[in-house]
């Protein structure tokens, strides 16, 4: 079986990180959606097509038949810095839109991605409920929490990955690969970074006071947690779209540049962004670690190739979305 025989749709597509991972593995994207206009602008700039909008307004008949569904559905409802209402708010309820599409289109496989905090919402009951919903649709379901640090990136970013197959195939999550994650490989020279990225003198002095007695080394990223404690790290903590602008400071003095944020997620050097700095933070903070997702995609392809020969699915013409 050749991977380009397999198609996928890109739900809650963001700026296309998951798409890049699956296309690198050889799969073909045939449809995408995302309700964020800023994300749509960047996606269109890089892929030449504009994702459709709010999935709740898109009938299943407007979605083409596909082999694999991928969805990095909204995470604030499950994040430690979000409201942690789980499935009980607008963003958390997007899981039910995924369930609807899987039920009606019956893709052979799916990959869902979210924050690691999903594992302990309501004492784990929310995750158990979601897994049961997927299993009731006749899928064999596998899940694990993976960390971007183990996949060649200088970012500690833990994400739950849920993979399912219509057939009970053997599947093993990737263990990652050994590679030194040097900040020096992704950081720009402080002396060449525009002064607009530098924290105020007050913030810099406050950070210096916070790390007295600690081992200060360079290059480093200084992370301030919710309680105000500052850690000096040889990697970045997870990019977060709604965190303080000074949540992460390079060498304790400046914010990450757009290029650095893209590199921390594994985007190609020629990837384009459009908008202002707040938009860049939001879009990169909501994206995925591409090398990590790519390794999962490879394992999915391995399982499919060894377990079944898929017929080519008929691609139906899209109907107009009201």
Residues labelled as active-site residues: 75
Question: 187: number of CA atoms within 13 Å, CB side?
Answer: 22
Distance in angstroms (rounded) separating the CA atoms of residues 14 and 37: 10
Could you tell me which residues come within 8 angstroms of residue 205 by beta carbon, excluding any fewer than 6 positions away?
Answer: none
What is the Cα–Cα distance from 163 to 292, expressed in whole angstroms?
Answer: 14
What size, in residues, is the chain?
322
Give SS3 for 146: strand
Distance between CA atoms of residues 18 and 26, nearest Å: 13
Specify burial of residue 21 (Cβ count, 10 A radius: 0-12, 13-18, 19+): buried
């Amino acid at each position: 079986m050749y991977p380009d025989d397999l198609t996928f749709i890109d739900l809650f597509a963001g700026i296309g990180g998951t798409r890049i991972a699956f296309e690198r593995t050889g799969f073909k994207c045939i449809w995408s959606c995302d309700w964020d206009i800023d994300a749509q602008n960047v996606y269109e700039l890089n892929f030449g097509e504009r994702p459709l909008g709010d999935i709740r307004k898109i009938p299943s008949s407007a979605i083409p038949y596909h082999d694999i569904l991928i969805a990095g559905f909204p995470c604030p409802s499950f994040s430690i810095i979000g409201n942690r209402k789980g499935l009980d708010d607008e963003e958390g309820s997007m899981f039910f839109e995924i369930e609807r599409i899987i039920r009606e289109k019956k893709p052979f496989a799916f990959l869902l991605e979210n924050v690691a905090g999903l594992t302990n919402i309501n004492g784990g009951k929310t995750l158990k409920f979601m897994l049961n919903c997927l299993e009731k649709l006749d899928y064999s379901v596998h899940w694990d929490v993976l960390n971007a640090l183990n996949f060649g990136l200088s970012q500690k970013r833990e994400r739950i990955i849920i993979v399912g197959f219509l057939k009970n195939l053997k599947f093993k999550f990737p263990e990652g690969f050994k590679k030194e994650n040097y900040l020096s490989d992704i950081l720009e020279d402080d002396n060449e970074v525009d002064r607009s990225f530098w924290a105020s003198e007050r913030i810099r002095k406050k950070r210096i006071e916070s790390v007295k007695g600690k081992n200060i080394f360079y290059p480093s990223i200084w992370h301030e947690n919710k309680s105000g404690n500052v850690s000096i790290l040889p990697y970045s903590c997870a990019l977060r779209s709604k965190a303080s602008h000074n949540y992460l400071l390079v060498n304790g003095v400046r914010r990450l540049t757009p290029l650095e944020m893209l590199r921390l997620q594994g985007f190609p050097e020629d990837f384009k962004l459009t908008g202002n700095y707040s938009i860049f933070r939001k879009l990169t903070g909501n994206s995925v670690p591409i090398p990590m997702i790519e390794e999962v995609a490879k394992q999915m392809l391995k399982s499919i190739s060894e377990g079944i020969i898929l017929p080519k699915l008929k691609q139906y013409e899209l109907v107009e979305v009201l």
